[in-house]
Chain A
Amino acid sequence: MNDSAFSTDPQLAARHRWGRMFEWACAIATWMCLVILAVMLVGVVVKGWPHLNWGFLTNFDSQLDPETAGIKAGLWGSFWLILLTALFSIPVGIGAAVYLEEYAKANWLTRLIQLNILNLAGVPSVVYGILGVTVFGHMFGVFGNWPREAVWHLPFGDKVLTGALTLSLLILPVVIISTQEALRSIPASLRHSSLALGATQWQTIRYQVLPASLPGILTGIILALSRAVGESAPLIMIGALTYVSSTPGNIGSISDFFTNPHGIVEAPFDRFTAMPLVIYNWASQPDEIYESLSAAGIVVLLLVLLIMNTSAVVIRQRFQNWIRW
């Protein structure tokens, strides 16, 4: 191919060959991920297909009649878990990140806290489960040995609230770190110009820094919450792995929010299960039909995750059109 008069480099062809080989290696790596993912998805959908109907979402789990078993309890359990987890972790996470980024002075204490948060983000989730059961489940045992010897039953134990608080602890480091990243991406000039116009620091944060970093913050939060949706280990630790044939607060459809408003208050203090736990429960059963059921459950879980991640992307796109640096 090469004109020998044009190039005198004998290695040139070999160099080009190496280049092409590297490109192929990278392409294979990419496609391997996609193919494996596609095979798994197709396999799961095919296996779960007989159960993928509306009844699967609106029926409870059933030992007697697995044909009509559904994931309703897990779906609503996960809904309440995520709702409460968001409620706890968003204000605390954003608050901590704003303090660390905007207010705290750069001294050894701040660096220590920062280092701890980074480490906590890498702690295995089962450890958070132990923490959750000790702190929120048993309340350090100060109210007696839970559950049998407890003199006075606190509304915690193995209830939705304990699960949500535990998951909040789990994702807090992630929320804080991603919020900090979002805040850090705001140029200092924005803060300076706001301060130079006579804004207080609170006004600068409230009207300039937070609105500008909102897409980044929301994206981080949604990704953290979708991690929480898929968690099972901490929930097993706090004792949520049980066969539950009721939804928290007996709210099993959207209309129940209006017909049974009392249930909204009761739900956080009710027993629960979650989607990953229901799937785990089915997968450990010997019967073949449960294999199909767990596949259907996985599809539903993946759909929920897909919806959450897509909304993160949409939010990011929506805001980025307006905010440009």
Chain B
Amino acid sequence: MMLRPSAGNIICMKASCGLKSSVRNLTTQSRQPYRAGNRKQPGRRVTSLIKHEGDPVLPSLSKVIAEKKAGQPAMQGHGSLAHGTPDTGVPKIETRKLDFYYGQRQALFDINIQVPQRNVTALIGPSGCGKSTFLRTLNRMNDIVDGARVEGSVLLDGTDIYRPNIDVVALRKRVGMVFQKSNPFPKSVFDNVAFGPRIAGMTDRKKLAEIVESCLKRAALWDDVSHRLKESALALSGGQQQRLCIARALATDPEVLLMDEPASALDPASTARVEDLIFELRRNYTIVIVTHNMQQAARVSEWTAFFFQGRLIEMDRTDQLFTKPKEKETEDYITGRFG
């Protein structure tokens, strides 16, 4: 395990707890002076400064680094060992020489990545860079696509999930997924969450009710829907629907959660709640999240991987990657020169 209990981590958790009360920088899009005494969002200020059109980016970056060091001294010492092979401890997921093809077109080139356990790993990169494709190789959702082909290996706890005798149904139970557009089933709220356990063969009503309640609580949705479990899930608001989809994914008791731009279709307030949730879930689940939004990556993730043109350019601790990128492409992207 990478995350040793350290002062920095504790601060991070506190930060996540305090988030609900504080309106995100995302919503305000304006630069406010950094308050050194604001312990509730030490890591968050940093990234909101990074990508604003017309910002004098690099000067502010150095300032950001200095501030972050002052605010979170314990975060130091978790640096990467070398480019491409950061020290992630024992990885939950590891890919080796992963190539992916849609028919003749190659979409992923030689991806070697280690996803640390019980952490949030963000995948960033411009549109069409392969980050969503990569995410879908991790629970073999690409199998559905006609003409899709995978070479290399994806190891989940050391087992290659592309081995011939791997059952994708069992794999997807361990590796859950939340999609970009919230897509609840056209059934009741209860039936949505209970679907996973039910298809796995659970019929005990009492147990199902317990699972539904605990999953809705973990998805921070219980207070909103506890009195309307029998109502159609499609009557919920967009943000509630997305949290319902997360609750539904939790109900199969997965080890890994893949999230494909889970907040991209949501308004800022709902985004904030979903991000809080992701930050909370990190304690029990290994989370891989694709995002277009670098501020979001910085807010929710400990690790960030930058994809560009089907290649993994760089993976590092999030604060490292955003403040001291090792590659030119990464720096160009996070400073807004393209993408």
Give residues in A with beta carbon < 8 Å to B: 105-106, 187, 189-200, 203, 207-208, 212, 322-325
Contact = CB atoms under 8 A, between A and B. Distances in A.
Which 7 pairs across A and B sit closest by C-beta, in order of nearness?
A: A198-B173, A189-B183, A196-B177, A323-B186, A197-B196, A198-B172, A199-B199
B186 A212 contact: yes
B141 A194 contact: no
A106 B141 contact: no
A273 to B, nearest CB: 44
A199 B196 CA distance: 7
A173 to B, nearest CB: 25
B335 to A, nearest CB: 34
Interface stretch (B62-70, B151-159, B244-252, B318-326): B244-252
B10 interface: no
Q: How large is the interface on B (under 10, 10 to 19, 20 to 34, 35 or more residues)?
A: 20 to 34
Interface in B117-135: none
Given A187-B183, A190-B183, A194-B185, A106 B146 contact: yes
A22 to B, nearest CB: 40
B169 A198 contact: yes
Nearest to B184: A193
A207 to B, nearest CB: 7
A317 to B, nearest CB: 16
A197 B196 CA distance: 6
Contacts of B248: 193, 197
Contacts of B252: 197-198
A325 B252 CA distance: 24
Interface of B: 139, 141, 144, 146, 169-170, 172-173, 176-177, 179, 181, 183, 185-186, 195-196, 199-200, 232, 234, 245, 248-249, 251-252
Given A193-B179, A199-B199, 20 more contacts: A187-B183, A190-B185, A190-B186, A192-B141, A192-B144, A192-B179, A193-B248, A195-B141, A195-B172, A196-B176, A197-B195, A197-B249, A198-B169, A198-B172, A198-B173, A198-B199, A199-B169, A207-B195, A323-B186, A324-B234
Contacts of A196: 139, 141, 172, 176-177, 179, 249
A195 B144 contact: yes
B234 A197 contact: no
A189 B249 CA distance: 14
Contact of A193 (B139, B170, B183, B200): B183
A310 B337 CA distance: 61
Contacts of B195: 194, 197, 199, 207
A317 B82 CA distance: 62
**Of A189, A194, A199, most B-chain CB atoms within 10 Å:** A199
Given A189-B181, A199-B199, A322 B186 contact: yes
A192 to B, nearest CB: 7
Contacts of A105: 146
A202 to B, nearest CB: 10
A158 to B, nearest CB: 47
Contacts of A199: 169, 195, 199
Nearest to A186: B186
A40 B296 CA distance: 68
Contacts of A200: 169, 199
Contacts of B249: 196-197
Contacts of B177: 193, 196
A187 B186 CA distance: 11
Contacts of B179: 189, 192-193, 196
A92 B170 CA distance: 32
Contacts of A193: 177, 179, 183, 185, 245, 248
Contact of B232 (A194, A195, A207, A324): A324
A322 B139 contact: no
15 contacts: A190-B183, A192-B141, A192-B183, A193-B177, A196-B139, A197-B176, A197-B196, A198-B173, A198-B196, A198-B199, A198-B252, A200-B169, A203-B199, A212-B186, A325-B234
Contacts of B234: 324-325
Nearest to B248: A197
Nearest to A200: B169
A198 B245 CA distance: 14
Contacts of A189: 179, 181, 183
A198 B170 contact: yes
B232 A322 contact: yes
Contacts of B173: 197-198
A318 to B, nearest CB: 14
Contact of B186 (A106, A203, A325): A325
A93 B172 CA distance: 32
Nearest to A206: B199
B186 A207 contact: no
B258 to A, nearest CB: 8
Contacts of A208: 185
Contacts of A197: 172-173, 176, 195-196, 199, 248-249, 251-252
A195 B245 CA distance: 13
Contacts of B186: 190, 212, 322-325
A198 B183 contact: no
B299 to A, nearest CB: 25
A105 to B, nearest CB: 6
Contacts of B146: 105-106
Contacts of B176: 196-197
A193 B193 CA distance: 12
B37 to A, nearest CB: 44
